[in-house]
Amino acid sequence: MLHQTAEAQSIKGKVKNSNNEPLTGASVHWLHSAIGTSTDSAGQFEIQLPKESIKKLVISFVGYQSDTLTITNENAIEVKLTGTKELGEVVVKGKRPGIYISEINPVKTEVITQVELKKAACCDLAGCFETQASVQPQTTNVITNSKELRILGLSGVYNQVLIDGMPLIQGLSYTYGISSIPGTLVDNIYISKGANSVIQGFESISGQISVETKEPDRTAKLLLNVYANNFMEKHLNANYLFKYKKWSSLAAFHTVQPAKRVDRDNDKFMDLPLLTRYMIFNKWKYGNDRDWGWSSRIGIRYLNEQRIGGQTNFNIKTDKGTTNSYGQTANIQQPELWTKTSYRFNDKNKITFIGSSFYQNQHSFFGTTKYTANQTNVYANLQYELLYKEKHTMKTGISYRHLSLNEDIFFTANPLNRTFAGKYKRTENIPGIFAENIFNWKGDKLVWITGIRADFHNQFGTYITPRTLLKYETKEGSTFRASVGTGWRTVNLFSENIGLLVSSRDIVFTEQLRPERALNFGANFTQKFDGKNIEGYISIDYYRTQFQNQIFPDYDANPSKAIISNFTGKSISDGLQVEAYSKFFSRFEAKAAYVYLDVYRKVNGKKINLPFNPAHKILSTLSYKPLTNKWHLDVNIHWYGVQQLPNTSANPAEYQRPQKSKSFTLVNAQFTKTWKQFEIYAGCENIFDFRQQQPIISWQYPFSAYFDISSVWGPTRGREIYIGARFSIK
């Protein structure tokens, strides 16, 4: 060991474990000082000497016992850390159920992990919610199979969908965005209802769905997945992990190849669209934001997608935009880039920059309606985080949003004399400021978040968004949560209401559309239990959403028109959910959930229930996995109660539909066989083949005044059988 000289200003060292393996990312700092660093990939570090006469150096690493050294005249040291019992916790985490309620967050947060996602096909994000009750995937256009994710019975536009913390599904990307994220790229999904943190923005009226893609430093080195169903739709996914110096990187490729043309109900329309998709993705990671110094994540993605739907004889080359045969097409190109970069000064201070941008170009035809659009979206967030009094955290910062949306609507033929053709342009610039304080008392048993933000819209002025969330653990395993807050959003009418472009109705604007605003409040109680051979929880929650302004196309006032206006009357969503989950003998898992929804408006004193919300819904799931882990069987059952449907009483008798749907049950099952690096899975969705027959109104005359796809309330493709295989190198 070298002797320290008077000129020495720093000390070097190396941190290893008991097997002499270097520890990357170990924390190194001087006791009672803000000077700190972390070890590199070789376990080495260099740290500046403090001014104190007594120098105590603290070395720590997750899963190891920390060590404190007194430094005298050394200028190079070598430290070995001993593993602690925390290593055993990693094993316990591996046995966690596939879906659980987070113990950390003040707002009730359901976490869907990779374990749960493997219980179903989960080809894309829209299909990742088969085994939970809080989110309801809803088809918005049966012809092109566009979907949205509903929370509390409200349209998917009212919940905020984040990809790695970024608002990448917004505006034009809303229509097909949730279907463009492959399930093999998803690591965890976090679902929370009601008001959330103000840091992510002013939306999140009904809840938030935060999707975390796989981390480059803790996923399989290689993952290959192939999938095909009985409609002959094919999926291929490939993920590859590699490292470059201090960076780790995950590269992914995803493609979907189209199904054959299927028409089981003989309405001359394909039961599912012909989908061709190519996606490439690359995510880089440097460091860890819990360690001192720099850390960063950078992601890039490119999407190219084509959807073709319509009549079975539709030929995109000769029939697009004509009345030869009815068809719908969508061609989408979308590049995107995002980053989350942090610098941690010490254990108490951190600054973080979050930025994302995407561009989407879309060319679509809906029969004789040509829809061409492009959108540029920019998001930036710079925040400072301070830990004070060792248990409270303050986060404050500034944000900026930019949206430029250009839409062009043109009729290649217009026998119905519709009037809404033209160019629609929107430009939004929204700077904002925010502050949020997290109070922790009684060892995190009592957590209270208070937050407020102010945003300055270039057209509509200033909006203030306050929110507060509370968590109180009354005793071990018993947790009460409550939240209240406001939210607002601007409307992207055509991309968020794609049925307007499909319908034969004329679109009439009666006034300038203002931002939608709402108040949400709710509470949750969770009781966890953990016995010798059984563990689980019981959860009860209730949330109410009250709108001050809402944009909802009025289809009832005139059978030939869709009236677009602001609705400032009473618009309410009440949602109650009761759920019980248990895992016993380390082999069996069972869950049952009941959901009650009452979503309505008051018009002239009369209560009007909004369509496509079953007042009652029941979900149950069953799983069995033997201790050998060589195979597992998973079954889920959904029962949907009666739904209110759009009013068609003004149509001729042959084009009228019932005011209410039927109740129905869907049963899905999957069997998975596992070897060391190889898995085969096979399953069936909608085992008993329940279908809504001929869901399209006036399917015989798709260019007539009564053609309408807005009465779809159930599955239309029927039983789906699939098989797939996964190969991975850990």
pLDDT in tens, 400-416: 999 999 999 999 999 99
Give the CATH number of the domain where residue 105 resides.
2.170.130.10
pLDDT at 525 exceeding the cut of 80? yes
pLDDT at 94 exceeding the cut of 90? no
What's phi and psi for 398, nearest 5 deg?
Answer: -130, 155
**Same domain membership, residue 662 and residue 513:** yes
Give the CATH number of the domain where residue 68 resides.
2.60.40.1120
pLDDT at 32 exceeding the cut of 70? no
Check residue 177 and give its pLDDT.
94
- ∠ at Cα 147 (141, 151), nearest 5°? 125
Percent of the chain with pLDDT over 70: 95
Q: What is the pLDDT of residues 691-710, one digit of tens each?
A: 999 999 999 999 999 999 98
> How far is the C-alpha of 305 from the C-alpha of 482, rounded, in Å?
41
> How far is the C-alpha of 508 from the C-alpha of 222, rounded, in Å?
53
What residues have CB less than 8 Å from 601, skipping those under 6 apart?
A: 552, 567, 569, 570, 571, 572, 607, 608, 610
List the one residue out of 302, 280, 306 whose CA is nearest residue 185. Answer: 280
**Same domain membership, residue 386 and residue 289:** yes
User: In Å, how far are 520, 615, 619 from 595, measured between CA atoms?
Assistant: 18, 8, 8
Instruction: Tally the domains of the chain.
Output: 3
pLDDT at 597 exceeding the cut of 50? yes
> How far is the C-alpha of 402 from the C-alpha of 170, rounded, in Å?
12
Half-sphere CA count of 718, side-chain side, radius 13 A? 12
Q: Where are the beta strands (DSSP E) in 615-706?
A: 616-624, 631-640, 664-674, 678-685
The residue among 177, 211, 245 that closes a domain is 211
**Same domain membership, residue 237 and residue 184:** no
Asked whether 404 and 172 are in contact (CB, 8 A), the reply is no
Half-sphere CA count of 461, side-chain side, radius 13 A? 1
Would residue 1 count as lying in a domain? no
Question: What pTM, to 2 d.p., does this model score?
Answer: 0.87
Residue showing tokens 């083949």: 689
**Same domain membership, residue 561 and residue 529:** yes
What average pLDDT does the segment 286-300 reach?
Answer: 91
**Same domain membership, residue 100 and residue 34:** no
Would residue 642 count as lying in a domain? yes
Asked whether 39 and 28 are in contact (CB, 8 A), the reply is yes
- DSSP for 443-507? TTTEEEEEEEEEEEETTTEEEEEEEEEEEEEEETTEEEEEEEEEEEE---HHHH-THHHHSSSEE
List the one residue out of 181, 503, 169, 145 whose CA is nearest residue 307. Answer: 145
pLDDT at 453 exceeding the cut of 60? yes
Least confident span in 8-12, 300-304, 326-330, 368-372: 8-12
> How far is the C-alpha of 599 from the C-alpha of 543, rounded, in Å?
12
pLDDT at 64 exceeding the cut of 80? no
Q: At 53, is the pLDDT very low, low, confident or very high (cuts 50, 70, 90)?
A: low
**Same domain membership, residue 249 and residue 396:** yes
Would residue 176 count as lying in a domain? yes
Q: At 7, is the pLDDT very low, low, confident or very high (cuts 50, 70, 90)?
A: very low
> How far is the C-alpha of 354 from the C-alpha of 297, rounded, in Å?
10
Would residue 296 count as lying in a domain? yes
> How far is the C-alpha of 451 from the C-alpha of 431, rounded, in Å?
17
Check residue 34 and give its pLDDT.
60
Check residue 70 and give its pLDDT.
81
The residue among 63, 88, 113 that closes a domain is 88
Pairing of strands 186-193, 76-81: unpaired
What average pLDDT does the segment 671-676 reach?
Answer: 94
Would residue 3 count as lying in a domain? no
Q: Can you say how many angstroms the Cα of residue 300 is from the centroid of all Cα atoms in its chain? A: 18
Check residue 25 and give its pLDDT.
73
3-state secondary structure of 111: strand
Mean pLDDT of the chain: 91
Would residue 2 count as lying in a domain? no
Give the CATH number of the domain where residue 377 resides.
2.40.170.20
**Same domain membership, residue 236 and residue 171:** no
Can you give 354-395 as a three-state secondary structure string?
Answer: EEEEEEEEEEEEECCEEEEEEEEEEEEEEEEEEEECCCEEEE
Q: What is the pLDDT of residues 185-238, one digit of tens each?
A: 999 999 999 999 999 999 999 999 999 999 998 899 999 999 999 999 999 999
Check residue 33 and give its pLDDT.
66
Phi-psi region of 18 (alpha: psi -120 to 50; beta: other; left: phi over 0): alpha
The residue range of the domain holding 197 is 94-211
**Same domain membership, residue 261 and residue 159:** no
Least confident span in 7-11, 24-28, 187-191, 680-684: 7-11
**Same domain membership, residue 266 and residue 134:** no
pLDDT at 4 exceeding the cut of 60? no
**Same domain membership, residue 264 and residue 384:** yes
Would residue 5 count as lying in a domain? no
Q: What is the pLDDT of residues 623-672, one digit of tens each?
A: 999 988 899 999 999 999 999 998 888 889 999 999 999 999 999 999 99
What average pLDDT does the segment 118-123 reach?
Answer: 89
**Same domain membership, residue 98 and residue 126:** yes
Check residue 97 and give its pLDDT.
64
pLDDT at 562 exceeding the cut of 70? yes
pLDDT at 8 exceeding the cut of 60? no
**Same domain membership, residue 622 and residue 571:** yes
Check residue 41 and give its pLDDT.
66
What average pLDDT does the segment 15-40 reach?
Answer: 78
Would residue 4 count as lying in a domain? no
Q: What is the pLDDT of residues 529-555, one digit of tens each?
A: 988 889 999 999 999 999 999 998 888
- Two tokens at 561? 């028109």
pLDDT at 92 exceeding the cut of 60? no
The residue among 43, 61, 88 that closes a domain is 88
